[in-house]
A and B are shown apart, each in its own frame.
Chain A
């Protein structure tokens, strides 16, 4: 079964440093999401892409976070500078359905970020 690939699986960085996460969605999935999950809580949406365009980034802290999906396939999420409160699991998900169509999101296994 096709999967959403994410790397790295774990990342430890010092505060004020830059960090980047990569995601390769399921082939053919036009919609891609980045979620952040704090331990013990449900995932929270950061940004949604439809192909290469940002659909919603209202919850993305744009002073330090950026996301791109230049060719409409894989995506990168960057944090610069990292802060202690950014320690969390960063999950990528993809969906076959375009914006506005209800369908399941398929998640990768995430990148666990620890900021020291």
Chain B
């Protein structure tokens, strides 16, 4: 069935560099997307969300980009810090699916000091 997926399972970056985590989705009826950060032994933590009527949304040090043409979502983290090391999940909500999120498989971000 249609699902959310990620291109890279592991991303290693140098502290201070920018990180880009990518996500592909295949359901054209998806209209809401969320990025979550999950540290070891903890539940997913909300980072940022974006609705399908937007192409870009910025938060503190994070930016989410949505390209509906190619069904692609990305999370950009500026000036990556050791505390950013975690697994990052994108999740999609299919229109009229009752606020039920479908998660991708996750990308592990490792920040080298």
Please report A residues at the B interface, Cβ cutoff 8 Å.
Answer: 4, 31, 33, 40-45, 48, 55-56, 91, 93, 95, 97-110, 112
- Interface pair B43/A102, CB less than 8 Å apart: no
Indicate which residue in B42, B99, B102, B105 contacts A95 across the interface (CB closer than 8 Å): B99
Partner of B99, one of A4, A31, A40, A112: A31
A29 to B93 Cα, complex, angstroms: 18
Please tell me if the beta carbons of A91 and B43 are within 8 angstroms of each other in the complex: yes
Task: Give me the interface of B with A, judged by CB distance under 8 Å.
Answer: 4, 31-32, 34, 36, 41-46, 49, 51, 89, 91, 93, 96, 98-106
Bound form: Cα–Cα A102–B99 in Å: 5
Q: Point out the residue from A41, A48, A104, A112 that lies within 8 Å of B100, measured CB to CB.
A: A48
Chain A residues contacting B106 (CB-CB under 8 Å) are: 40-42
**Docked complex Cα distance between A40 and B105 (Å):** 7
* Alpha-carbon separation in the docked complex, A10 to B113 (Å): 32
CB < 8 Å: which of B41, B98, B105 contacts A100?
Answer: B98
List B contacts of A107 (CB < 8 A): 36, 43-45
Complex contacts, B45 vs chain A, CB 8 Å: 107
Closest-by-CB residue of A relative to B106 is: A42
A–B pairs, 13, beta carbons within 8 Å: A42-B4, A42-B91, A48-B99, A55-B98, A56-B100, A91-B43, A95-B99, A98-B99, A102-B32, A104-B34, A106-B46, A110-B42, A110-B43
